Amino acid sequence: MSGFHGKILVADLSKMETRSITVDKRISTLFLGGSGYASHLLYELLDPVSDPLGPDNILLFMTGPLAGTLAPCSGRHVVCGKSPITGQWGESHSGGHFGAKLKASGFDGILVTGVSEIPLTLDVSDGIVSLHTAEHLWGMTTEETQKALKSDQGRIQAACIGPAGENLVKFASIVNDERVAARCGLGAVMGSKKLKAITVSGSQSTPLAAPDEFNELARSSSKILGEAMSMLRDQGTAMYIDIGMMFNDVPIKYFQEIEFNDADLINAKSLGEILTGRSACHSCPIGCGRRVTLHEYNLENIAGPEYQTLAAFGTNLMVSDLKKIAIMNRLCNQYGMDTISCGSTIAFATYLCDIGKADYGLRWNDPDAVIELIHAIARRQEIGNMLADGSLSLAKSLGAEDLALHVKGLEIPNHDPRAFSGMATIYTTASRGATHLEGDMYSVDMGADVRELGITSGDRLENEGKGRIAARAQDFRAFCDSVIICHFAIVPPRTIIELLNLAIGTSYQIDDILRIGARAVTMKRLFNLQCGLKPQDERLPKTLLTPHAKSVTDDFVPDVDSQLQDYYEYRDWDRGTGKPRDGALRELKIDVN
């Protein structure tokens, strides 16, 4: 089976047994790999009423058919399971080199079931699998864990949790190097299973149907991409601070304000003053990762904060001390926590104090207090124990549910649907809850459209047609997440299709892109419906439906209802039940009981 090794490792931690299952060729033809294949597999295997932190939840690490090859920006993997913070579909992607090494180990994915009685590591090397005690690693940070594992095993890649995952923080992440599978709290699922780390190594290359032609196209497309994305390579994602401020798309003071006069202190130019290097994932010609050095804190060449972190701990908390934000980012990486949910939950707690709904002693622009809270959350100490369950849980405890910025329990990421209206559809319908990663309508309406697929830019402050375009953008990103290819890889769709065909020996056409993506979107919808999703859950918090005063958005707020009507009609889903109609399922060749 070209593009795949054809097998997924299954590790049953309750029985301390491992085996493998075969990759179903029919399913991989329809869904490819990545989160698409994962959506079908977990729909079949996972009990929808299972406790996300109980023994019946399943955690799937999955690669795509291009993983481990020279295809540009294909060195990624995805982790899927039932999310402890939403109780529905959980999905988190990470770059680095773990995905490529997982493929080189001889498996396309790793399926983890059950719960161990003691901390474990799962070690996979060239098809040989073993389970080992990790009691000596329990309590270690992610950096300490990886150093210890590499000291023992040599040239491996490790995906591990830190103390936050061990303590079941509901937005705990899974870290490899300093790349992070961050959202949805799947690090807590790993912690609930007492699985400290997975290590992978090996030398098995990805089988290709036409290796010479594939590698030639991969090299040439990678060269073109590197030249086209030179600005991202030079400035990193921090460049969006300046861009987003122009569009009122950067959250300020928990999305309450539109002005932050110190934005130039945390933008790409300022980050450049502490920049000491760049990092790239496997087979990436861009290298958007930042390495920074903070001499006064004895921190050298650590991962620098990305845009989402600069906004979460910077503008949203009114903090302009870039070095302190870099420390916050470092702590979240070391403890293993999602910076978006962590920063947003702290901002929510601060906002509640600001309006007199809570008395935690928090105030805006207090970086030292934020740093202390990060420690407290990861360790579940004092107020940190409340915040460790996320914004919605905190809101419920205080009777302030209408003030928390979330969708289906997942904190709003740092793009404002009042600035780019199509994000309203993405946030409300995304399988994970509020995420910008299932459809980047903010970039579409800034001109980064994909016209070959009918994903066209338009007026960012308009509702008409946005649901339909957002659905197509969702399908395209779901396709990318099934290949898997990084969203920053602005490679022409025809090139991606040609790479796929040369890799796996198929004859996909460009029209198949949205169809493959729509299957994954639909399977995740079916999964969530089994978990209890209702159409009334698809709504934005009141704050994001309240106009900003004196903003360049002219008091615009998105019309969620009209956008969803457009979206549902495009997908042929029933608006009353949220279910895909039989005709939609037949058209996508989805057969479910």
pLDDT tens-digit readout, 306-341: 999 999 999 999 999 999 999 999 999 999 999 999
Q: What is the DSSP string of 507-572?
A: ---TTHHHHHHHHHHHHHHHHHHHTT--GGG----GGGGSPPTT-TTTT----HHHHHHHHHHHHT
Q: What is the DSSP string of 272-289?
A: HTTEEEEE--TT-SS--E
The strand ranges marked E within 23-119 are 59-62, 77-82, 89-94, 109-113
Q: What is the pLDDT of residue 495?
A: 98
Question: Alpha-carbon distance 221 to 80, whole Å?
Answer: 29
Mean pLDDT over the full length of the chain: 97
Q: Find residue 450's DSSP bridge partners.
A: 455
CA distance 246 to 490: 23
- For residues 474 and 424, is the Cβ–Cβ distance under 8 A? no
Average pLDDT over residues 11-40: 98
Own/partner pairs for 222-226, CB < 8 Å, 24+ apart? Answer: 222/70, 222/71, 222/72, 222/283, 222/285, 223/285, 225/72, 225/73, 225/285, 225/286, 225/489, 225/490, 225/491, 226/72, 226/285, 226/286
Q: Is the pLDDT of residue 253 over 90?
A: yes
Q: Provide the pLDDT for residue 22.
A: 98
Q: How confident is the model at residue 592 (pLDDT cuts 50, 70, 90)?
A: confident
CA distance 179 to 104: 19
Partnered with residue 279 across adjacent β-strands are 289
Tokens standing for 125?
């090397």
The secondary structure of the chain in percent helix, strand, coil, rounded to multiples of 5, reads 45, 15, 40
Q: pLDDT tier at 411 (50, 70, 90 boundaries)? A: very high
* pLDDT tens, residue by residue, 579-589: 999 999 999 99
3-state SS, residue 93: strand
**Distance between first and last Cα of the chain:** 28
pLDDT at 548: 85
pLDDT of residue 593: 67
In angstroms, the CA 440 to CA 423 distance is: 7
Task: Please provide the DSSP assignment of 456-494 as one string.
Answer: ----TT--TTHHHHHHHHHHHHHHHHHHT--TT----HH
Nearest to 187 by CA among 85, 256, 285, 114: 85
The pLDDT-based confidence of 1 (bands split at 50, 70, 90) is confident
ω into residue 484 within 30 of 0, thus cis?
yes
Helix axis angle, 391-398 relative to 339-354, nearest 10°?
20
Which letter does DSSP use for residue 207 in this model?
Answer: P
Q: Is-contact 81 52, C-beta < 8 A?
A: yes
- What class does CATH assign to 7-201? alpha beta
Q: Side by side, which strands form the sheet with 17-22?
A: 17-22, 7-12, 109-113, 59-62, 77-82, 89-94
What fold, for 239-404? 1.10.569
Q: Which helix (H) or strand (E) holds 368?
A: helix 367-379
Handedness of CA 455, 457, 458, 461 (dihedral sign): positive
Q: Exposed, middle or buried by CB within 10 Å (0-12, 13-18, 19+), for 30?
A: buried
Q: Where are the beta strands (DSSP E) in 261-416?
A: 275-279, 289-294, 299-303, 406-407, 410-411
* Among candidate residues 508, 510, 512, the one with its CA nearest the CA of residue 520: 512
Instruction: Provide the total of helices (H) and of strands (E) in the chain, helices listed first.
Output: 23, 17
Task: Kindly tell me if the per-residue pLDDT of 552 is higher than 90.
Answer: no
Pick the CATH number of 423-487+511-587 from 3.30.390.30, 3.40.50.720, 3.30.365.10, 1.10.599.10: 1.10.599.10
Mean pLDDT, residues 250-266: 96
pLDDT tens per residue across span 164-200: 999 999 999 999 998 999 999 999 999 999 999 999 9
Place of tokens 């807590």: 188
Contact 484, 495 (CB under 8 A): no
Tell me, what's the pLDDT at 288?
A: 97
- Residue 426: name the closest of 380, 470, 480, 465 by CA: 470
**pLDDT given at position 549:** 76
Strands 77-82 and 89-94: antiparallel
Which tens digit of pLDDT belongs to each residue from 282-315?
999 999 999 999 999 999 999 999 999 999 999 9
- What is the domain partition of the chain in residue ranges? 7-201, 239-404, 423-487+511-587
Quote the pLDDT of residue 551: 74
Residue 37 confidence (pLDDT): 98
Q: Which residues contact 298 (CB under 8 A, 6 or more apart)?
A: none
Q: Is the pLDDT of residue 454 over 90?
A: yes
* Average pLDDT rounded to a whole number, residues 51-79: 97
Lowest mean pLDDT of 238-252, 481-495, 547-561, 576-590, name the range.
Answer: 547-561
